[in-house]
Amino acid sequence: MRATEIVLPGVGEPDVLQVRVRDLPAPTAGQALVRVEASGVSFAEQQMRRDGYLGRPAFPFVPGHDLVGVVEALGAEASADDRLQVGRQVAALTRTGAWADRVLLDAADLVPLPDGVEPAEAETLVADGVTAWRLLHRAAKVRRGQVIVVLGANGGVGSTLVQLARHAGIQVIGTASARHHDAVRRLGAVPIDHRDDVLAKVLELAPEGVAAVFDHVGGPGIVDSWRMLARGGSLVCYGTAATSDAPGDPRLPVLRLLARLTVWNLLPNGRLAMFFDLWAGKGRRPERYRAELREDLGQVFAMLAKGEITAQVAATFPLAEAADALRHAESGDITGKVVLVP
């Protein structure tokens, strides 16, 4: 079976991406061959091409954080799993490798989709949906009626997080550039320009402070995120976008942030600070990781199928135009997620 893949050969502008065609072997025991219907362009790939992503594989490699596709063939053992027949539509979190038209994956990592879901729409909710769900319900455990702040409310994770929170009866203040404010309002959040004094604006809207702040920006602004919290509130950090272009070892900004969060947690101030990692536990306890992924993604897909949340597809591009897709994702002009459609 032939597969067309997009290869990132090294650090560089999106133009460095190459198209490669290669033969894939038949799936072996426990594997599934998946025909990819849609894969996502995430902030992770932007960081990988700039060498700012922790845990990037050695160059060259095929990027692609997540996908939706159809099972084309199953190796021995995999076909014993009743959830997975040939022809079944599935989703997978891959971290890398999804920018291809066919992939070989461990069948146990696949999550079945509900019937009647459009592939590009479902795709926007794989990595971003499960991240948003866990930030809200597993990390911060926010309750109905509380107020939260979502930084980057127009982004892939942010736009999903806003919708999940609104559906759970939570009030949302969302930061975004002014050009995205109408979109953020339509999602159900009160927008604030991230170039303004965000701390002052949040405290005008929520004088007692907020129940949680979801911060993927890091950098010096993290102090303001901490100051926005009410007593009992949680700061959930999940990225360091502010320092992603900083020269040097990409681990340093993360280590600095972790040290700061640890110190804040040690202070007797009735607030919590944590760093969320979508991949935590995958290597150490894979069975539990898979079960939680099926559970969390299942909740998000069910909400999509019922129309309780709306997929934010910013644009779709053919797989071979991955460089244009990456440029578009980096343009700062989009709400939601750019999707590659082989």
How far lies 264's CA from each of 208, 211, 216, 260, in Å? 19, 16, 17, 6
Size, binding site for ligand NAP by CB under 6 A: 26
Count of positions (residues) in the chain? 342
**CB 310 to ligand NAP: min, Å:** 16
Residue 154 lies near ligand NAP (rule: CB under 6 A): yes
Residue 317 lies near ligand NAP (rule: CB under 6 A): no
Strand partners, 34: 71, 103
Q: Residue 210 or 217: which CB sits closer to ligand NAP? A: 217
> Which of 31, 131, 146, 312 is close enough to bind ligand NAP by CB under 6 A?
131
Residue 177 lies near ligand NAP (rule: CB under 6 A): yes
> Mind giving me the DSSP string for 139-164?
II---TT-EEEESSTTSHHHHHHHHH
Q: 193 to 212, contacts with ligand NAP by CB under 6 A?
A: 194
> Which of 117, 148, 173, 217 is close enough to bind ligand NAP by CB under 6 A?
217
Q: Residue 31 or 244: which CB sits closer to ligand NAP? A: 244
Do residues 128 and 139 make contact, with C-beta atoms less than 8 angstroms apart? no
Q: Residue 176 or 304: which CB sits closer to ligand NAP? A: 176
| 8-state DSSP, 8 | B
> Which of 158, 191, 250, 253 is close enough to bind ligand NAP by CB under 6 A?
158
**CB 155 to ligand NAP: min, Å:** 2
Residue 319 lies near ligand NAP (rule: CB under 6 A): no
Torsion angles phi and psi, residue 305, rounded to 5: -60, -35
Do residues 15 and 323 make contact, with C-beta atoms less than 8 angstroms apart? yes
Token pair 């900083």: residue: 246
> What's the CA angle centered on 102, arms 324 and 65, to 5 degrees?
55
Strand partners, 32: 74, 105
| Window of 112-120, 126-134, 245-253, 296-304 that interacts with ligand NAP by CB under 6 A | 126-134
Q: Which of 3, 5, 123, 99 is nearest to 45 (CA)?
A: 99
> Which of 168, 230, 242, 320 is close enough to bind ligand NAP by CB under 6 A?
242
DSSP-based three-state secondary structure for 326: helix
What is the token pair recorded at 18?
A: 């190459």
Strand-pair category, 190-193 with 171-176: parallel
Residue 43 lies near ligand NAP (rule: CB under 6 A): yes
| Window of 6-14, 107-115, 234-242, 299-307 that interacts with ligand NAP by CB under 6 A | 234-242
| Window of 17-25, 69-77, 148-156, 282-290 that interacts with ligand NAP by CB under 6 A | 148-156
Q: Which residues bind ligand NAP (CB under 6 A)?
A: 42-44, 127-128, 131, 152, 154-158, 176-177, 180, 194, 216-217, 238-239, 241-242, 276-278, 332
